[in-house]
Amino acid sequence: MNHDAYDDNYIRGILNSVKSIAMVGASPVNVRPSYFAFKYLAQRGYDMIPVNPGHVGKSLLGKPFVASLADIGHPVDMIDIFRNSSHIMPVVDEALTLSPPPKVIWMQLGARDDAAAEKAEAAGLKVVMNRCPKIEYGRLSSEISWMGVNSRTLSSKRAPIPTQGMRLSLNRMSVGGGATAASDRAAKNKSEPT
Amino acid sequence: MTDRLPGFSTLAVHAGAQPDPTTGARVTPIYQTTSFVFNDADHAASLFGLQAFGNIYTRIGNPTTAVLEERIAALEGGTAALAVASGHAAQVVVLQQLLMPGDEFIAARKLYGGSINQFTHAFKSFGWNVAWADPDDIASFERAVTPRTKAIFIESIANPAGSITDIEPIAEVARKAGVPLIVDNTLATPYLIRPIDHGADIVVHSLTKFLGGHGNSLGGIIVDGGTFDWSKDNKYPMLSEPRPEYHGIRIQETFGNFAFAIACRVLGLRDLGPALSPFNAFMILTGIETLPLRMQKHCENAKAVAEFLAGHSAVASVNYAGLASDKYNKLARKYAPKGAGAVFTFSLRGGYDAGVNLVSNLKLFSHLANVGDTRSLVIHPASTTHSQLDDAAKVRSGAAPDVVRLSIGIEDKEDLIADLEQALGA
């Protein structure tokens, strides 16, 4: 599948269906993006599991760190990989040994490994690359519109008042299939060797 | 549910807005407040650290203004936008993210006179150096590129003569130079031209003109195309380097393809302070709802008036890209097929004195220093907007002493023509 641009329905389907998310590379340092993405997703009702061998024995917002995916001890729906592109493949390999395997592999903003994506997709998993689930959740619920971001969605329904632990509706009408043509084109040019 | 593509007019009415969560108010309320309460100390810290979405203080963001920002981002096909107090403020905030003292940017010579002043004089004291290029000579942009060049700035439809800029080859020069192309799209509005579709990386507007459209509110906006890679070569440290005021976060790494709009908000607007009033945001939003209808009428009227002037014996020449005989007609048909805008110039056989005379004899056209109003406007650039330029610079920027500029409104075109006819004959 095309990983330069995603249809909103694809992202919406993932964020509406997964309940548990293991975040590989989660940081207990409260100014790191992984920390505040973890916190946001926990506040929106996802069951979050921090995975980072360097912090075993500590916990993140009350959730104990585990050293590896195998140590989670129960099935998880999605693996969110907060690592550089060069560290993706071993995580995907490990995810594929889990029984049952996760339904989704998500690589953070800036991270992309097409070979790892192909391997996960061949095993029946859904893959998202170079996106942030916090940004996508905020965009599809229009919560991110508070920052002047183009949510690329429309709705004539009354907006909910977000509170902690509350799931927001992601089922708004998408504008242009979720694509911002110019930014997707630029992302494609960036990923192709020139 | 199926996603379908809403058209431009639907976005002009709906994008960014939805019924108010508390009251159900259908029209976007005016949140006329300076500040917003926090849920608790942790929430406050998260907002200040850019970790959570939400409102803090109207200098940084406001819910009424946010609707305006999202609407224009949607109309321009950008990833995000930031509204500010005026078009001039938008230009300062954009360049503050891109230039360090001693850096340069290239600007098209044909610009709004106020921008020429701002770039030449005000920015000089910041150490931002402008190099001028000729929009009719693409190679002049290439020649102006140096290792210190950080951006290229052009107008899509250029003030004062309404000439059309060939955006695509200039975007190519910017791409080769590894710098963003900034397009001031004020006179076109996204209804006529969407510069990001032609290779622009950043779009700026004076919202005061056709977008607001009614001559009642100042405003400016910056649209992030989401197209530029700010991390390359460490050329743009405001975006690629850790920010000490935000605990070392890197703006590009954290915000991806809308990082530029965030940098403008949290490093530019927050610290320089040119915030838009929520009331003005509301007025401009209301104006935008009828943008497609107004622009079509503005363009139809402008074409009719330009044709009338072209056939008048007192008129030496008319510069309107919508006329088949105009030098810019080919570019107008490519970039602005729905119409060539409503701001243009003409020159009188009687020179400077005839220009001054015409302005004083008009009864319906208003003599003032603005464009893009529902009302038709007239000005003599050489004695007003471009008066600070020397004569040679006036001619180069399209504001020679015998030139009169019109901004055609949405009145009945017959009345506009009758007013010009009586004033030209007087």
Alpha helix (H) residue ranges in A44-162: 88-97, 114-122, 133-140
Tokens matching residue A30:
């409260």
**Distance from the B25 Cα atom to the nearest Cα atom in chain A, whole angstroms:** 9
Task: Work out the number of other CB atoms within 10 angstroms of the CB of residue B78.
Answer: 34
- CA distance, residue A187 to nearest chain B CA (Å): 7
Residue B105 contacts residue B130 (beta carbons within 8 Å):
yes
Look at B21 and A138 and tell me if their CB atoms are within 8 Å: no
Answer yes or no: do B46 and A36 touch at CB < 8 A: yes
> Cβ separation of B5 and A145 shorter than 8 Å?
no
The domain limits of chain B are: 8-287, 292-425
Q: What structural domains and CATH numbers belong to chain A? A: 8-191 (3.40.50.720)
Contact in structure between B347 and B398 (CB atoms under 8 Å): no
Task: Note whether B386 and B399 are within 8 A (CB).
Answer: yes
Identify the CATH class of B292-425: alpha beta
A150 CB neighbours in chain B (<8 A) are: 15, 70, 73-74, 78-81, 258
Mutate to test the interface with B, among A146, A153, A168, A184 (most CBs of B within 10 A): A146
Structure tokens at A45: 């009702």
Across the range A25-37, mean pLDDT stands at: 92
Give the residue among B347, B352, B359 at the shortest CA–CA distance from B403.
B347
Cα gap B3→B150, rounded to integer Å: 39
Q: Determine whether the interchain pair B79/A149 forms a contact, defined as Cβ–Cβ distance below 8 Å.
A: yes
| Chain A: residue whose CA lies nearest to B248 | A31
Which of A35, A157, A183 faces B257 most closely, judged by CB atoms?
A183
**B127 within 8 A of B170, measured Cβ to Cβ:** no
In chain B, the residue whose alpha carbon lies closest to the alpha carbon of A163 is: B39
Residue A41 φ/ψ region, left for φ over 0, alpha for ψ in the -120 to 50 degree band, beta for the rest: alpha
Four-CA torsion A123, A127, A130, A133, nearest 10 degrees: -140
CA dist B319 and B341 (Å) reads 12
CA-nearest of B265, B179, B268 to B230 is B179
- Strand A78-81 with A104-107, pairing: parallel
Task: Indicate the pairing of strand B403-407 with strand B343-348.
Answer: antiparallel
- pLDDT of A178 reads 57
Flag if B15 and A173 touch (Cβ within 8 Å).
Answer: no
Phi, psi at residue B149, to the nearest 5°? -65, 130
Give the Cα separation of A176 and A153 in Å (integer). Answer: 9
Contact B263, B97 (CB under 8 A): yes
Distance CA A49, CA A78 (A): 10
Assess whether pLDDT exceeds 50 at residue A34.
yes
Strand partners, B345: B319, B405
| Cβ neighbours of A64 (radius 10 Å) | 13
**Which residues share a beta bridge with A153?**
A174
DSSP letter for A58, please: B
Q: Do A157 and B67 touch (CB under 8 A)?
A: no
Q: Smallest CA–CA separation between A98 and chain B, in Å? A: 30
* pLDDT, position A176: 62
**Which residues in chain B are closer than 8 Å to A171, comparing Cβ atoms?**
1
- Is the omega angle on the peptide bond into residue B160 within 30 degrees of 0, that is, cis? yes
Residue type, A147: M
The helix (run of H) or strand (run of E) holding residue A47 is strand A47-51
Helix, strand counts (H, E) of chain B:
18, 14
Point out the residues of chain B with pLDDT beneath 50: 1
Chain center to CA of B51: 31
pLDDT of residue A134: 94
Q: Could you tell me whether strands A126-128 and A153-154 are parallel, antiparallel, or unpaired per DSSP bridges?
A: unpaired
- Name the closest residue on chain B to residue A191, using Cα atoms: B229
Q: What is the pLDDT of residues A133-182, one digit of tens each?
A: 999 999 998 888 778 999 988 989 988 777 777 788 888 888 765 566 77
What residues form DSSP beta bridges with A149?
B80
Confidence of residue A193 (pLDDT cuts 50, 70, 90): very low
Give the residue on A whose Cα is nearest the Cα of B6. A175
Give the integer Cα–Cα distance in Å for B152 and B159.
17
Beta bridge partners of A21: A48, A78
- Asked if B226's CB is within 8 angstroms of A148's CB, the reply is no
> Is the domain B8-287 a CATH 3.40.50.40 member?
no
d(CA A25, CA B335) in angstroms, rounded, equals 47
Statement: residue A9 has pLDDT above 80: yes
The predicted model gives A59-75 an average pLDDT of 96
| Cβ neighbours, 10 Å, residue B287 | 23
Integer Cα distance of B183 and A12 in angstroms: 34
Chain A interface mutation, best of B22, B57, B70, B285, highest count of A Cβ atoms under 10 Å: B70
Supply the ipTM of this predicted assembly.
0.89
Under DSSP, the state recorded for B35 is: B
Nearest to A158 among B21, B66, B228 (CB): B21
Q: 3-state SS of chain B: helix, strand, coil percent to 5?
A: 45, 15, 40
Instruction: Report phi then psi at B344, rounded to 5.
Output: -155, 175
Gyration radius of chain A's alpha carbons: 16
Look at B78 and A180 and tell me if their CB atoms are within 8 Å. yes
Torsion angle of alpha carbons A191, B2, B7, B11, nearest 10°?
-90
The pLDDT score that the predictor gives to residue B146 is: 98
What is the identity of the amino acid at A124? G
CA distance B343 to B330: 18
Q: What is the pLDDT of residue A175?
A: 75
